[in-house]
């Protein structure tokens, strides 16, 4: 457990450990026998509601009990360190990009999302082959948008109820009106899923085409012109979530590899007796220590009053790159058995690779970080 946490967070972490040991781990073992994923997930979800974890990612006005970034970070790190797929059912769905939705948008999309009745997806990335980024044309009375274009990488796009899409808006006379985030029903006429694919960590995605999709202006989140800031509005929290998960995985891997290095080896002495192997374990521990230290310092900054965008970026870059190195070295020390399909390190090796691309590719974040410092004077060391 990290140091200097207040008694409320310490208690929450103790309760979470107990939840993992008494509910989540047994439920995962039952899944290896005859219990389905749906049954196991619903057990974890209902226990999480009962124990007060479910609402920690949800706003108070929707019955949630939101907590500080520091607490959320500590809980997320602990969940990731359990390395158990059922931990993804502990927290309830947050509002995400719909956080400030009102009126019909709130009733038709945000409320059902928070009740767990509807699921949204996010359409931001454009294919390299796009002739033009996805665009929306306003009609003369400015009551309706006609959307054309494409999005290349929409996670959960096949099973979602709606997708929030970043578009460039132009008026009926072709004058540019800025970007907007628009909510489009997946079943809307003209929305075509043209490819389904999965990525190496197991995620399911689609690419979508928009062929003259008609959407009322009421389905714009906020105002036209606010698309890009809204698309990126919650990204700091998401980046902290990814960093916490990366650090939790590092901890699980180090525990795993330390047991492996102390176990009997065919050479007659445990691998951990060799100095060369110890050097590699030292590197893994150094990486994890530094990543964890950065994670908790930044979580505290996020809860403070001052801007912490640059620190979040630095943390996301470092933690996701560190977990890549840590898992890679663990595979090396565990040997060929770690690459057998289904081995926990094989699964993690595939899982952590996407972390350096999602929610900001590492090098693009580096560029933003330096821009923040040199052009805006932001960023601590
Ligand atoms: C598992 C997974 C889930 C995803 N889910 C979604 C989703 O739900 N919705 C969605 O919209 N997208 C999603 N994406 C897409 C993801 O957001 C993009 O892959 C990511 O933003 C990188 O964009 P890109 O793939 O177009 O690569 P590019 O933008 O082409 O960048 C490729 C590389 O080129 C280099 N590069 C690019 N630009 C610069 C520059 N200006 N300066 C220096 N170097 C540069 C960097 O090394 C970068 O990593 C997902 C991706 C993955 C892997």
Note the Cα 324 to chain centre separation in Å: 16
Mutating to test ligand 1, I would choose from 96, 120, 123, 125 the residue with most ligand atoms within 8 A of its C-beta, which is 125
Query: Averaged over 296-316, what is the pLDDT?
Result: 97
Mean pLDDT of 148-157: 98
Ligand 1 centroid to Cα of residue 265, in Å, is: 42
Render pLDDT for 129-149 as a digit per residue (tens, 0 to 9).
Answer: 999 999 999 999 999 999 999
Per-residue pLDDT of 4-51, as tens digits, reads: 999 999 999 999 999 999 999 999 999 988 889 999 999 999 999 999
**Which ligand 1 atom is nearest residue 123's CA?**
11
Q: The pTM is what? A: 0.96
Specify the pLDDT at position 211.
98
Residue nearest to atom 9 of ligand 1 (CA): 154
**Top-confidence residue, 100 or 187:** 187
pLDDT of residue 200: 97
Instruction: Return the higher-pLDDT residue of 319 and 1.
Output: 319
Q: What is the mean pLDDT of the chain?
A: 96
Distance of CA 334 to the CA centre of its chain: 28
User: Using one digit for the tens of pLDDT, what is the confidence trace for 39-54?
Assistant: 999 999 999 999 999 9
The whole-number pLDDT of residue 33 equals 84
Tell which CATH classification among 2.40.37.10, 3.40.50.2300, 2.40.110.10, 3.30.365.10 matches the domain 103-226: 2.40.110.10
* Domain residue extents for the chain: 7-94, 103-226, 234-374
What was the pLDDT predicted at 169? 98
Whether residue 1 is predicted with pLDDT greater than 80 in this model: the reply is: no
pLDDT score for 11: 97
Q: For residue range 183-215, list pLDDT tens digits in order.
A: 999 999 999 999 999 999 999 999 999 999 999
pLDDT of the residue at 319: 99
Token code pair at residue 5: 């946490």
Structure tokens given for 294: 């950065």
Query: In percent, how much of the chain has pLDDT > 90?
Result: 94
pLDDT of residue 34: 84
Q: Measured between alpha carbons, how far is 75 from 300 in angstroms, rounded to an integer?
A: 14
Which pLDDT value is given to residue 5?
A: 96
Cβ atoms < 10 Å from Cβ of 346: 17
Out of 149, 358, 366, give the residue to mutate to test ligand 1, the one with the largest number of ligand atoms within 8 Å of its CB: 358
CB-based contacts of 247, cutoff 8 Å, min separation 6: 77, 80, 288, 291, 292, 295, 319, 322, 323
Residue 126 Cα, ligand 1 centroid: separation in angstroms? 9
Please give the C-alpha separations between residue 10 and each of 22, 51, 167, 214, in angstroms, as whole numbers.
18, 15, 44, 51
CATH number of 234-374: 1.20.140.10
Q: Is the CB of 97 under 6 A from ligand 1?
A: no
| Residue minimizing CA distance to atom 1 of ligand 1 | 354
Least confident of 79-83, 96-100, 251-255: 96-100
H or E element that contains 317: helix 309-334
Indicate which residue's Cα is closest to atom 17 of ligand 1: 358
Nearest protein Cα to ligand 1, atom 49 = 361
Strand 162-170 versus strand 135-138 pairing type: parallel
Residue 174 confidence (pLDDT)? 94
Percent pLDDT > 70 in the chain is 100
Measured CA to CA, the distance from residue 112 to residue 101 in angstroms comes to: 12
| C-beta 374 within 6 A of ligand 1 | no
State mean pLDDT over 281-286: 98
pLDDT at 262: 98
Q: Residue 328 in contact with residue 349, Cβ under 8 Å? A: yes
Task: Give nearest CA residue, ligand 1 atom 13.
Answer: 153
| C-beta of residue 355 within 8 angstroms of C-beta of residue 246 | yes
Confidence of residue 234 (pLDDT cuts 50, 70, 90): confident
Which atom number of ligand 1 is nearest to the Cα of residue 357?
20
Residue 332 has a pLDDT of 98
Measured CA distances, 91 to 48, 187, 300, 373 (Å): 7, 28, 21, 35
Asked if the model's pLDDT at residue 61 lies above 90, the reply is no
CA–CA distances in Å: residue 13 to residues 10, 16, 91, 160, 261: 5, 5, 14, 32, 29
Q: Is the CB of 203 under 6 A from ligand 1?
A: yes
> How many angstroms does the Cα of residue 357 sit away from the middle of ligand 1?
6
**Ligand 1 mean position to 358 CA, how many Å?**
7
> Worst-scoring range by mean pLDDT, 94-108, 150-164, 237-251, 313-327?
94-108
């Amino acid at each position: 457990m990290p140091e200097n946490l207040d008694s409320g967070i310490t208690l929450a972490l103790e309760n979470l450990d107990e939840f993992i040991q008494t509910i989540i781990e047994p439920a995962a073992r039952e899944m290896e026998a005859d219990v389905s994923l749906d049954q196991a997930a619903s057990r974890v979800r209902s226990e999480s509601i009962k124990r007060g974890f479910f609402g920690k990612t949800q706003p108070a006005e929707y019955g949630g009990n939101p907590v500080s970034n520091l607490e959320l970070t500590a809980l997320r790190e602990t969940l990731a360190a359990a390395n158990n797929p059922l931990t993804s059912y502990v927290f309830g769905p947050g509002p995400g990009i719909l956080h400030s939705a009102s009126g019909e948008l709130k009733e038709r999309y945000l409320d059902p999302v928070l009740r767990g009745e509807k699921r949204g997806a996010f359409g931001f990335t454009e294919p390299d082959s796009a002739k033009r980024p996805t665009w929306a044309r306003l009609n003369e009375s400015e009551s309706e948008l006609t959307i054309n274009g494409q999005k290349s990488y929409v996670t959960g796009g096949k099973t979602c109820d709606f997708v929030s899409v970043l578009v460039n808006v132009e008026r009926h006379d072709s004058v540019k009106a800025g970007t907007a985030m628009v909510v489009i029903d997946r079943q809307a006429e003209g929305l075509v899923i043209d490819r389904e694919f999965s990525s190496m960590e197991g995620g399911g995605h689609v690419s979508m085409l928009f062929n003259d999709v008609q959407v009322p202006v009421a389905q714009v989140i906020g105002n036209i012109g606010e698309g890009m800031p809204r698309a990126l509005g919650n990204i700091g929290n998401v980046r902290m979530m990814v960093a916490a998960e990366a650090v939790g995985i590092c901890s699980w891997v180090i525990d795993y590899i330390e047991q492996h290095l102390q176990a009997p080896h065919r050479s007659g002495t445990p691998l951990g007796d060799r100095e060369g192997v110890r050097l590699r374990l030292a590197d893994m521990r150094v990486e994890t220590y530094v990543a964890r230290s950065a994670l908790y310092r930044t979580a505290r900054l996020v809860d403070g009053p001052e801007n912490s965008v640059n620190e979040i970026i630095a943390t996301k870059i470092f933690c996701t790159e560190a977990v890549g190195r840590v898992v890679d070295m663990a595979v090396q020390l565990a040997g060929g058995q770690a690459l057998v399909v289904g081995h926990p390190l094989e699964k993690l090796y595939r899982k952590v690779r996407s972390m350096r691309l999602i929610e900001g590719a590492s090098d693009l974040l580096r560029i933003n970080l330096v821009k923040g410092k040199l052009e805006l004077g932001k960023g601590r060391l």
